[in-house]
Homo-oligomer: A and B are copies of this chain.
Amino acid sequence: MQSAYEQMMEHVRETGALGHVAQRLGWDQETVMPRGSASQRGDEMAAMETVLHARRGDARLGEWLSEAEADAAVQADPVARANLRHIRRDFDRANKVPQRLAAEIARVTSVSQGVWAEARAKDDFAAFAPTLKEVLALKREEGAALADGGDVYDALLQDYEPGATAEQLTQMFGALRPRLKALIDAVRGAEAPPKVSGTFDEGAQMRLARHVAKTFGYDMSRGRVDKAVHPFSSGSGNDVRITTRTAADDPFNCLYSTIHEVGHASYEQAISQDYLFTPLGQGVSMGVHESQSRIYENQIGRSRAMTGWLFGQMREAFGGFGIDDAETFYRTVNRVHDGYIRTEADELQYNLHVLLRYDLERALIERELEVDTLEEGWNARFEADFGFAVERPSNGVLQDVHWSVGLFGYFPTYSLGNVYAGCLHEALRRDVPDLDARLAVGEVEAATDWLRDNLQRHGGLRPPRETIMHATGTEPDEGPLMRYLETKFSDLYGLSI
């Protein structure tokens, strides 16, 4: 007879397979679905969500969990213990939120994204404010239900970064912000590298993207690269697909979006096959996921050594393109440039964008800030951090979709990912002293093998922070990221820090 743990895992694996089906539908929708199928697809996704919701709240899970938690054989097995931890957290979460509230959140967020998109198109925050108030009120209520008297924002954070606390993040980000600002100020005073200009064939961009994806270790026999409006990675295990985008006047958009998504996808592809469709069979948190995409994109992909190789590939793909030497190419892809938009920010300024959102959303959840003064708050903070004013809400408070669909607690994982990438990069350089020599000839596996063996293959076995510590051997903090940025950009911009 099957033990409670085995029965539970069978149920969980089947739910995992169905969840993966829903992800494939999402990929289909963004890449190949005919435009006239959208409304019907909504019904199909809703039916899948209904099935998944019922399975995740299945009362038998509670019984199986209690029995399995009391089973000494299960507790002696680290993989089983890790599964229990994930399933218990998800089950408790589902049961802490009243059915009425969950349904109301689903109802409101199914339309709020459309309201946000329209408000953004019209540059009219007031048109979005009433909807955002509704979403915020529901998320405050959900957070309170989850927090059980504890910190409401911390409770929401667990959906994206289990184990993280606002206290930890605030301390980390508090140390980052002044050092980032100082570095950015110094860079602004120095001579800027050249921009790239010209027209770059989009077919050639896609061919280069696929070639670079393979070079960075993406397994194309278990994945594929397509075009979509927004780059994303989707799926786990043996079917992990990425999308990228092309712009005729900016080949780096396609190139670095691809490398970024390859970081996410390689993580999913590398996880032990034993964990397929279980909670351990996917990236352990948003922050750890982002650490992979960022270290691929920035610490590796924008390194002097790697850009030397990439420069050669660009020449092969496009012939002469106005940048004539590898060092200028390196400076160009690391160009620091002012801008309003987070997703277009450079490596240096990106975290300032995130920190702004983190402070604002925490204040919103903690009722220290209300929607009526949010735009004002955004604009004041932006000018303080970036030194110039937001002139319209589509460049400011309306630029991101996250809050409109209730994603409070998501933003900080972007910067946490950068901090983790910094830690991993320092440990990688320690363990692979000749890394640059290898990257310079396109041997990225020196880095990707290290990441796979020390982090990626373990999936959700350890909690996020422990996942990083297991790979690096030390407690993560912002130090390595800042040392890396200060060294790199001082060198690039001839600063003396």
A interface residues, Cβ below 8 angstroms from B? 13-14, 17-18, 20-21, 24-25, 28, 32-37, 39-41, 43-44, 46-48, 50-51, 219-224, 237-239, 241, 276-277
Contact = CB atoms under 8 A, between A and B. Distances in A.
Nearest to A238: B40
A220 B34 contact: yes
**Of A14, A17, A222, most B-chain CB atoms within 10 Å:** A17
Contacts of A37: 222, 238-239
Contacts of A32: 32, 224
Contact of A20 (B44, B223, B241): B44
A41 B277 contact: no
B34 A223 contact: yes
Contacts of A224: 32, 34
A11 to B, nearest CB: 11
A219 B36 contact: yes
A26 to B, nearest CB: 11
Given A25-B24, A34-B224, A223-B34, A50 B239 contact: no
Contact of A44 (B17, B41, B220): B17
17 contacts: A13-B43, A14-B47, A17-B44, A18-B47, A21-B25, A21-B47, A24-B24, A32-B32, A33-B239, A34-B221, A34-B223, A34-B238, A36-B222, A36-B239, A37-B222, A40-B239, A43-B277
Contacts of A20: 40, 44
Nearest to A269: B36
Given A21-B25, A51-B18, A276 B40 contact: yes
A-B pairs, top 5 by smallest CB distance, nearest first, are: A37-B239, A17-B47, A36-B222, A36-B221, A40-B238
